[in-house]
Amino acid sequence: MSAPRWDGLLLDARLATLREELGAYGAIADGAIGWKDGVIAFAGRRDELPGDPATLATTVESAGGRWLTPALVDCHTHLVFAGDRAPEFERRLQGVSYETIAREGGGILSTVRATRAADEEALLAAALPRALALRADGVATVEIKSGYGLDFDSERKMLRVARRVGAETGLDVRTTYLAAHALPPEYAGRADDYIAAAIEWLPRLHGEGLVDAVDAFCEGIGFSPAQTRRLFDAARALGLPVKLHADQLSDLGGGGIVADYAGLSADHIEWTNGEAVTAMARAGTVAVLLPGAFHVLRETKLPPLDALRAHGVAMAVATDLNPGTAPLQSLRLAMALACTHFRLTPEEALRGATVHAAAALGLRDRGRLALGQRADIAEWSIAHPAELCYWLGGSLLHTLRLRGTPPPPL
């Protein structure tokens, strides 16, 4: 008897493949999925299997009629930080604006003080429960930004911890250098000098294998378009892709800036104008919607959703997990908020947290259940894929497979 072709095979599954040629959700009612060496080798109808299931794979299991989707991808988080900002949440509920709190020395800078004071072990201990909460919600890939250090040693510490989060949890962690997140107090009034320092640190951190992409906060309380472009020029010289906190609080043309650099994504984009949307469409830049921050800040200015759809700009959905404006540890809840606040359909939200989120990280090897994709598979106890956005909270995940294997308990 010949050796089995595959490492694992799941039968009796309903597949939401997200393959567009298969219609809504790319659904397959009586499906099967097999994998070899962590890569999907078959995803289709059970009656299309190329042989007896018992001879096809080393391990054959039944999904019991449950729905399988690609594992989720959280493409925008600030998961590594120390402390919290619950008192600021109370102040905002009393009518104090986010911008006012930031200008008073709160906001990002309060988290910077706490993060600088914490060592690597303390940061890791704080970050792991957040990462595990995302994993328990079906996430297999997560982006983690720096940006609460704002000096070389602290930015390096954050990025090192981000890599360790991946090693400890089995999640595929993509790191983003966000030193241009806020102006640290020691550089008060010298933003250009700080950008020069951030540019100097970048090749050193990249050389240590700690940086997968470069981001900036282009905003009135952040950095100017010119300063953002200086940083992006440095990233491009190193061959690093860029993404941008763009047009969250005002229209500084951030969507157009990141498109000029063929950037991976423009994130937030509540104030992005039509010209920038057109530029994003030409560049293939993904629009990352962050409804958690929109919800917590009680914003009313919607992203240009009709324009994004009209121009075919891919829309991703992410948590923006951070201690200030989006203390959100559930990508499923972010999907639900995207449906409620931004009127995405549940299918758009699911695609936004899988295939489009992967594209926002420059990853084309995940996000669909299809031949050759990573065998990152989420198995759900639901009767219809729309339930992933319908239920607010609760545990719907039955099994998560990372490259075909359930992650280690922690």
Residues 54 and 105 both lie in one domain: no
Sign of CA dihedral 5, 43, 392, 315: positive
Predicted local confidence at residue 19, as pLDDT: 97
The reply to whether 406 falls in a domain is: no
The reply to whether 372 falls in a domain is: yes
- Whether 334 and 319 have beta carbons less than 8 Å apart is answered as yes
Indicate the annotated binding residues: 76, 78, 85, 148, 181, 245, 248, 320, 322, 324-325
Residues 214 and 340 both lie in one domain: yes
Residues 61 and 112 both lie in one domain: no
**Residue 387 sits in a domain of what CATH number?**
2.30.40.10
Residue type, 114: A
The reply to whether 221 falls in a domain is: yes
The reply to whether 407 falls in a domain is: no
CA dist 277 and 124 (Å) reads 38
**Residue 180 sits in a domain of what CATH number?**
3.20.20.140
Predicted local confidence at residue 133, as pLDDT: 97
- Whether 347 and 338 have beta carbons less than 8 Å apart is answered as no
How many domains, in total, are found in the chain?
2
Residues 303 and 277 both lie in one domain: yes
CA dist 205 and 6 (Å) reads 39
Domain that holds residue 21: 6-70+367-401
Residue that is written with structure tokens 């019991």 in the block: 64
Buried b (16+ CB within 10 A) or exposed e, 323-337: bbbbbbbbbbbbbbb
Predicted local confidence at residue 2, as pLDDT: 60
Indicate the annotated binding residues for Zn(2+): 76, 78, 245, 320
Predicted local confidence at residue 90, as pLDDT: 87
In the chain, what is the straight-line distance between the N-terminal and C-terminal CA atoms, in Å? 39
Between the CA of residue 265 and those of 257, 278, 361, what are the distances in Å?
11, 14, 8
CA dist 6 and 35 (Å) reads 6
Residues 14 and 161 both lie in one domain: no
The reply to whether 253 falls in a domain is: yes
Give 222: exposed, middle or buried? Use CB within 10 Å, 0-12, 13-18, 19+.
buried
Q: How far is CA 104 from the centre of its chain?
A: 30
Residues 83 and 41 both lie in one domain: no
Indicate the annotated binding residues for 4-imidazolone-5-propanoate: 85, 148, 181, 248, 325
The reply to whether 224 falls in a domain is: yes
Residue that is written with structure tokens 């102040």 in the block: 91
Nearest to 200 by CA among 175, 225, 180: 180
Residues 375 and 269 both lie in one domain: no
Enumerate residue ranges in the chain where pLDDT < 50.
Answer: 1
Indicate the annotated binding residues for N-formimidoyl-L-glutamate: 148, 322, 324
Residues 24 and 164 both lie in one domain: no
Predicted local confidence at residue 1, as pLDDT: 45
Residues 52 and 169 both lie in one domain: no
Residues 21 and 84 both lie in one domain: no
Indicate the annotated binding residues for Fe(3+): 76, 78, 245, 320
Q: How far is CA 61 from the centre of its chain?
A: 30
Question: Phi and psi at residue 374, in whole multiples of 5°?
Answer: -60, 145
CA dist 199 and 65 (Å) reads 52
CA dist 317 and 331 (Å) reads 8
- Dig out the tokens for 121 from the structure: 């072990």
Residues 111 and 12 both lie in one domain: no
- Whether 14 and 378 have beta carbons less than 8 Å apart is answered as no
Residues 270 and 342 both lie in one domain: yes
